[in-house]
Amino acid sequence: MKPTDDEEIRREFWVRQGRQLLAIALALFLVLLMAVVYKRHDLFGEYSKKTLMAAQLLVITAFIGFTAFNWRCPSCKKYLGKDIYKRACRHCKTRFR
Ligand SMILES: [Zn+2]
């Protein structure tokens, strides 16, 4: 399995993109869930605003940490930037599709 193999790089990018989309969905879901928990004391019981804000901060920090680890070019390992539907790496010009 050579890291320079085009097919392998496309597949690796596809896996990373899938994980990234999942992480975005999960982070959004958790942050929204906490907002709902805060608004609906009747359903979820009392949580202090501080607790929920700390939990949201934790989710966001975990998401940023995961992104820094996951969202990298499979070829040159540099950070890929904001665009999730990238066509190519702007550092090494490797094409992903
Ligand atoms: Zn690259």
Give the domain ranges of the chain. Answer: 1-97
Query: Distance, CA 20 to ligand 1 centroid (Å)?
Result: 17
CA dist., res. 45 & res. 83, Å (int): 38
Is residue 97 within 8 Å of 10, Cβ to Cβ? yes
How many whole angstroms from 55 Cα to the centroid of ligand 1?
34
pTM: 0.84
Cα 73 to Cα 61: distance, rounded to the nearest angstrom: 21
pLDDT, one tens digit per residue, over 13-65 is: 999 999 999 999 999 999 999 988 888 877 777 778 888 999 999 999 999 99
- Predicted local confidence at residue 1, as pLDDT: 47
Contact 52, 38 (CB under 8 A): yes
Q: What is the pLDDT of residue 80?
A: 96
